[in-house]
Amino acid sequence: MSSMIWHQVREGESVYDIARQHIVPIKALMEANEGIGQLFVGQWLQIPQSVQGYVVQEGDTLEELSRQWNISKATLVNQNTLRTEELLVGQILLRQVTYTVQAGDTLFSLADKFQTTVASFEALNNVNVGELQVGQVLQIPGYTAAMTIGQAQIYDRPSTKGRVLLRPVTGARFTVTGSGDGWLKVRLFDGREGWLTEGQSRLEVSTRDDKPLALLGYFTEDEGPGLPGSEASFLAHANDLQDVSLFYYQIRFENPTTLGKFGEFTDEALRTLVAQAHARNVRVLAVVHNLLYMEGPATISKDVVKELVSSSANRQALIANILNLIRQFNFDGIDLDVEEVYEEDREGLSQFIIELGNALHQEGYFFSVAVPSKTSAEDPSAFAKPFDYAVIGGAADQVIIMLYNEHGWPGSGPGPVVSIGRMEQALTYAASLIPANKILGAVSVFGFDFNLETGKARYLTYAGAIETANQFGATIQFDEESQTPFYTYTAENGQDHEVWFENERSIIAKARLAQTLGVNGLALWRLGMEDPAIWPGLEEQFTLRKP
């Protein structure tokens, strides 16, 4: 046999069985084996390689799949000869990944057909306009990014006489949305589109079957000894990030319609940070939260939310202050991280999120909301019950499902901060209520050192986990079930410890799961605590999306 993929028919097999086994549409299988007729045992069938089959999952829609696959809904319907737009779980859809050139085809017509760009076709297939030949097999481009070379500028039109929208740093990456006459149309951090000359850029083109992954990095100042701030990590890896969320603003307990600074930073330093992020084409979100108050009752975080959502006047006052904050520092939007909430305030919180989303969208700002994870509507977690996923998913542009702390909360006992099993359950449930393209799974890049005698847990970075292991001569192991590294040791005082943390292997596993589940990507808590090896690992194994 040749290098093609072939299948030999076994007793009892039908065309349907073979199509399911190889995950290809029946139509594609029939076309690859013209005159297939009645099957017989021992018959050889060619399995088409120019298409990729996709098994429809719960919650899939034609709109969402056409967006993910970068084709029009009409093309998806025609390719699969669908008679209805209603999809069935388990149904196999044809997803074309290569194309055989037909008479009359041009790169311009193919770019239009597959909703990509001429430049992407040229770069991926090493061809030029006018070089196509009938019968030639082309790979269909997927996501395309342009990396700037030298002192590039982004213009408001395809002309160096146009207005300069941005002067990016060398190596900044942009999503490409169009091309023509030596220019690339690219999307900026704030949603605007501009033009970059092809001569000042290098294209990165993925194939149609490669789903890009979005990354958000949380950013804080120093949190104490052994817990460095995020700035160095952010500036080193900004080109891999779609968003950075600055953990900088707390809803004031004294007056929940106002905001206070959280952390030690100056307005001047903040403006510099925002400019640095924009020059690297990173969307900058200000985190607004109700956490970590220095004094007050144990219920202070919940009390803040209760007062905030108790009246329309209070909600609108905080919304006005949030909008003023965005304008003052040139943020691109908000990442709302309201966590501790009384269950009876569920409707009030939902109403606040709807009103905040409307206000942000009216002014063109991005709205992200972080919510606790749950695995079902019956999840017993009181922490997660006040959050109406369906309402939040409708109001926000992005929903961050906080998968931590599975272990690490007071009294939890030792274990992984985010296990791969619970991550899958939580994101699958979230995607049943929230569009998958809006979801980021928030994972830890930190760890905990659990003291088995006192029951307390010490928050530590990857570097801290490795330093402690070296100090006590511990052997680092990898738990296959949770996909998490861990080790044990006995301290100098004789107390036993168990340390669970994250490394490149565990983060790559979580990224792979996010990609498999069809969600948009990962959020990392937080920059500056991670294994440095995660960055080359992610760059090598995934196509990383920009805004």
Note whether 357 and 392 are within 8 A (CB): no
Q: Phi then psi for 146, rounded to 5 degrees? A: -115, 130
Torsion on CA atoms 205, 208, 209, 213, rounded to nearest 10: 50
Note whether 137 and 161 are within 8 A (CB): no
Note whether 322 and 251 are within 8 A (CB): no
User: Could you tell me the pTM of the whole model?
Assistant: 0.86
H or E, element range at 431:
helix 420-431
H or E, element range at 498:
strand 496-500
Helices (H), 1-145: 15-22, 26-32, 62-69, 73-79, 107-113, 118-125
Looking up tokens 């900026």 gives: 188
User: What does the alpha-carbon distance between residue 410 and residue 404 come to, in Å, rounded to a whole number?
Assistant: 13
Domain 214-443+502-541 has CATH 3.20.20.80: yes
**Can you state the percent helix, strand and coil of the chain, rounding each to 5?**
30, 25, 45
Note whether 86 and 47 are within 8 A (CB): no
Superfamily (CATH H level) for 99-206: SH3 Domains (2.30.30.40)
pLDDT computed for residue 10 by the predictor: 85
pLDDT computed for residue 4 by the predictor: 53
Q: Phi then psi for 473, rounded to 5 degrees? A: 65, 30
Note whether 77 and 68 are within 8 A (CB): no
Q: Which residues of the chain have pLDDT under 70?
A: 1-4, 20, 23, 25-28, 35, 49-53, 70-71, 79, 81, 96
pLDDT in tens, 84-108: 888 888 777 877 678 889 999 999 9
Tokens of 294: 């220095």
User: What does the alpha-carbon distance between residue 156 and residue 261 come to, in Å, rounded to a whole number?
Assistant: 35
Domain 5-89 has CATH 3.10.350: yes
Q: Phi then psi for 11, rounded to 5 degrees? A: -60, 130
Note whether 292 and 304 are within 8 A (CB): no
Question: 24-31: long-range contacts at Cβ-Cβ below 8 A with a sequence spacing of 24 or more?
Answer: 24/48, 24/51, 24/52, 24/53, 24/92, 24/94, 25/51, 25/53, 25/80, 25/92, 25/93, 25/94, 26/92, 27/80, 27/81, 27/94, 28/53, 28/94
Give me the sign of the Cα torsion angle 166, 170, 176, 181: positive
pLDDT computed for residue 3 by the predictor: 41
pLDDT computed for residue 63 by the predictor: 85
User: What does the alpha-carbon distance between residue 210 and residue 224 come to, in Å, rounded to a whole number?
Assistant: 40
Ordered by start, the domain boundaries in the chain are 5-89, 99-206, 214-443+502-541
Q: What DSSP string describes 205-262?
A: EEETT---BEEEEEE----BTTB--SHHHHHHHGGG-SEEEEEEEEE-SS-TTSEEE-
Residue 355 is classified by DSSP as H
User: What does the alpha-carbon distance between residue 216 and residue 523 come to, in Å, rounded to a whole number?
Assistant: 4
Q: How many Cβ atoms are within 10 Å of 55's Cβ, its own excluded? A: 12
pLDDT computed for residue 1 by the predictor: 30
Name the β-bridge partners of 148.
201
